[in-house]
Amino acid sequence: MYANRVNQTDIYQSFNKPLVTALLGARRVGKSTLVGEYAKQHAHYRWVFLNMDTREERLRVENSGLKDLIQEAVEQQIGVEGKIWVTIDEAQKCPALFDQVKLLYDRYKDQDAIKFILTGSGFLSLHQLSAESLAGRIELLYLREFSLQETLTLQHAKPLPEKSLLELISESHDVKSVEQYIESRKPLRRLAEECLSQQLIWGGLPEILIEPEINSRKSYLSNYLQTYLEKDIRAISTITDLNLYQNLMGIIAEQTGSVRQDTELTEALGCSRDTLKKYRGFLLATLVYKEVYPFIGRSLKRLVKSPKGYLLDNGLISYLTGIDDFSILQKTGFIGYRFENWFLKELQIWLDRSIKRSEIYYWRTSGGVEVDFIVEKKPQVFPFEVTYSTRIQHKKLKNLQSFKREEPRADVGIFVYMGDFDFDSKNNIYFIPAWAIG
């Protein structure tokens, strides 16, 4: 079963550019499936599929054998009988690969004889290696877990809209257009709310979303975590304690959405700050964890400076915390953090499609005034309050208003909740039902 992805068109356009394309994303989000679908649509191309998880192929590349591998696969010399399309999965696992890609790219770029598509589930390694070896030759793109829109497509065959609601708000600031968009999506409301509830418990990995049995989903998450630890983390020579690494993941899962407290973490784990920093760095590098830093505006001295930490997959959070029942999640009071975590993913997917430089922050003053997310999409700034509630919470509304007074670039505010659409024309604040994000 294949479902179109929100940024599939942008990724496919990159495949047709005379550059090396690198597609980054956490393990099992669908990178190889997306590339494979493109290959099916262009079966007449000469394709070579390599995987640096495969020991034999990795060893040959480490021995400077990339060119030979490619030519053997298509039984021809590069640059003789037409263009060759080369996809290389888990590229970050073979550092020797990048210099050879550079040499082949430079040698044949004027002939348009070879196209490289690299995929990787490790951001730091691939980004650093590509920056060093392929500067000016590579385009970096991202694929995340399934969004709410994509989940509706996967589970119910509903077509993706041309634009997302977040794109519409950020580009037009036209209240009538936003209202009409939400009205047009109302027939899907029940399905979208069901998909959202699933994502709060099970996350957005595609293989989870197409698995109907609860026990099978739990088993998948258990296997996913073990595969991640054994294949991605054990291979890192500086990770000497897998139990400590998994315990760190467990604590981060419990504290997702909270301001980072390093002293408490080192005491709970019984490790040094240097070890904590190193292990957390690999969580970031493998794209399963994200830190959101405070927005620095004009009130620099009044701002809290520590980042918030997010284990990005709600399914892993369910597995690590043991809270995988929706009614129990509601009773614990943690559902708000899961809701915030889900919306962070939606923000990332929205920003992945933008060519403008962008970043996600949060805002909190020492006096306790806080806004959940601040998106800086230069030159604009968008503040978001996010709450799993059917009612508009006046404290959160006041926080949005406070930020808008502080930051002149924030033309609009966005309040995402479980209620109905509304618009505060006096303060220029949208009240957006969460189901309409999808």
Evaluate if residue 233 carries a pLDDT over 60: yes
CB 119 within 8 A of CB 172: no
Considering just the CA atoms, what is the radius of gyration of the chain in Å? 23
pLDDT (mean) for 105-133: 79
Give the per-residue pLDDT at 136: 81
pLDDT in tens, 35-65: 999 999 999 999 999 999 999 999 999 999 9
pLDDT in tens, 331-368: 998 999 999 999 999 999 999 988 778 999 999 988 88
Q: Which residues 6+ apart lie within 8 Å of 419 measured at CB? A: 389, 390, 391, 392, 431, 433
SS3 content of the chain, % helix, strand, coil (to 5): 50, 20, 30
Q: In DSSP terms, which residues pair with 409 in a beta bridge?
A: none
Give the per-residue pLDDT at 371: 97
Dist CA 17 CA 381 (whole Å):
31
pLDDT (mean) for 104-123: 92
Dist CA 373 CA 255 (whole Å):
17
pLDDT in tens, 323-339: 999 999 999 989 999 99
Dist CA 404 CA 399 (whole Å):
9
Q: Which residues 6+ apart lie within 8 Å of 320 measured at CB? A: 225, 249, 250, 253, 254, 311
Give the per-residue pLDDT at 131: 54
Long-range CB pairs of 297-301, under 8 A, 24+ apart, other chains included = 297/363, 297/406, 297/407, 298/406, 298/407, 299/365, 299/406
pLDDT in tens, 168-224: 999 887 899 999 999 999 999 999 999 999 999 999 999 999 999 999 999 999 999
Which of the pair, 298 or 26, is modelled with greater confidence? 26
Give the per-residue pLDDT at 368: 84
Q: Which helix (H) or strand (E) holds 169?
A: helix 165-172
Long-range CB pairs of 260-265, under 8 A, 24+ apart, other chains included = 260/291, 260/306, 260/307, 260/308, 260/309, 261/306
For a pLDDT cut of 70, what percent of the chain falls above it?
A: 95
Q: Which helix (H) or strand (E) holds 142?
A: strand 138-142
Give the per-residue pLDDT at 13: 96
Dist CA 325 CA 384 (whole Å):
27
Q: Which helix (H) or strand (E) holds 208?
A: helix 206-209
CB 4 within 8 A of CB 266: no
**Reduced to 3 states, what is the DSSP secondary structure of residue 174?**
coil
Q: In DSSP terms, which residues pair with 303 in a beta bridge?
A: 365
Q: How far is CA 132 from the centre of its chain?
A: 24
Strand order in the sheet with 46-51: 46-51, 84-89, 114-120, 20-24, 138-142
pLDDT band at 134 (very low <50, low <70, confident <90, very high): confident
Dist CA 40 CA 36 (whole Å):
6
- In order of 98, 105, 291, 412, 431, the CA distances from 102 in angstroms are 6, 5, 32, 44, 49
Q: Report the sign of the C-alpha dihedral through residues 201, 223, 255, 281, in that order.
A: negative
Give the per-residue pLDDT at 135: 75
Give the per-residue pLDDT at 438: 67
Evaluate if residue 124 carries a pLDDT over 50: no
Long-range CB pairs of 207-210, under 8 A, 24+ apart, other chains included = 207/28, 208/315, 209/146, 209/151, 209/154, 209/155, 210/1, 210/154, 210/155
CB 399 within 8 A of CB 371: yes
Beta strand pairing call for 358-364 and 380-386: unpaired
pLDDT band at 79 (very low <50, low <70, confident <90, very high): very high
pLDDT in tens, 244-290: 999 999 999 999 999 999 999 999 999 999 999 999 999 998 999 99
- One-letter amino acid of 91: A
Dist CA 257 CA 44 (whole Å):
47
Evaluate if residue 67 carries a pLDDT over 90: yes
Q: Looking at the chain, which residues constitute the CATH 3.40.50.300 domain(s)? A: 8-142
The domain over range 8-142 is classified in CATH as 3.40.50.360? no
Q: Which residues 6+ apart lie within 8 Å of 49 measured at CB? A: 39, 73, 87, 89
